[in-house]
Amino acid sequence: MYGQEEYTRKCIELTYKNAGIDVDILVVDDGSPEVFRNDNVTVIRLHPNSGFTNATNQGILWAQERGYEFVHLLNNDTEPYPDFIKLLLDEMEKDSNIAIASSVRLYPPQGLVELYGLDLLRGYQAVTKIENLTGDVIECNWVPICSSLVRMDAIRYLGLLDKRMRTHSSDLDFCIRAKIHGYKIIVVVASRVIHHHEVTTKANKITPEKDQMVLLEKLAGLHYAEFMKKIPLDGENKTYGKLDFTIYQK
């Protein structure tokens, strides 16, 4: 969290109520203007503010040091539905090759549901209407980690999120690394959270361009060539496996 205390407190309350299993909650306060305090959870405070990616990594390391087998990454501007973590865990326990299991994210005013990522350049999401949701599990190439259960063994193998991408694209990059190394990424349709979407970034006028450029530099590496043949870089224009760079001079 960075500020947005009202959202955070509601998220904590609903997580305890709706996890479906016993959970320990850690809040990473990423240098909020006012120190966050809550007697019902563990809070670690970073200073100064370091951005979403580093704050997420610090939470992962905290869980890793304490021997947890799974870490559930949850944005503070979410409102979880009943059993949202249990449903993810149930699927992951069926297949040890699943690295990430994600909830679907609901936008009630529009009646829309966000499922998984479609491309790499713009970060478009597959969206459908709530009444059109079907099936139990969707295997995909990448998901935002707004509400995602991650296997700790996969993190030990793949490494942490790339903190060069301060607020955007680091979850996408992590999913790409997982896919390259043969892990599965899934969306569990029955696991649901309301996501108010970019509450912190919009309030602080944070944009993704710098982080997207770091991701593009990584995608240009030869190690990613085979993967780039399989997933669209640009879903809108159906472009696969090719990056063009233009140098601008003053």
For residue 144, whether the previous peptide bond is cis, meaning omega lies within 30 degrees of 0, is no
Detail the DSSP E strand segments found in the chain: 26-30, 42-46, 70-74, 78-80, 98-107, 112-117, 125-129, 137-140, 147-151, 184-195, 232-234, 239-240
Give me the pLDDT at residue 8, please.
Answer: 96
Quote the CA–CA distance of 240 and 195 in Å, as a whole number: 30
pLDDT digit string, tens, across residues 185-195? 999 999 999 99
At 216, the pLDDT band (50, 70, 90 cuts) reads confident
Average pLDDT over all residues of the chain: 88
Q: What angle do CA 159, 162, 125 make, to 5 degrees?
A: 105
Q: Which residue has the higher pLDDT, 219 or 91?
A: 91
Q: Decide if pLDDT at 248 tops 60.
A: no
- Is residue 34's pLDDT more than 60? yes
pLDDT at position 134 is: 86
pLDDT at 199: 61
pLDDT score, position 198? 65
Q: What is the largest CA-CA distance in the chain?
A: 58
CB atoms within 10 A of CB 20: 18
Mean pLDDT is highest, among 27-36, 213-222, 236-245, for 27-36
Does the domain at 5-233 match CATH 3.90.550.10? Answer given as: yes
158 residue type, one letter: L
Query: pLDDT digits over 96-134, tens only?
Result: 999 999 999 998 777 899 999 988 777 788 999 988 988
Is it the case that residue 250 has pLDDT exceeding 50?
Answer: no
Span 21-36, average pLDDT: 95
Q: Is the pLDDT of residue 207 over 70?
A: yes
> pLDDT digit string (tens) for 58-106?
999 999 999 999 999 999 999 999 999 999 999 999 999 999 999 999 9
Tokens describing residue 114: 């966000």
Q: Where are the domains of the chain?
A: 5-233
pLDDT at 238: 65
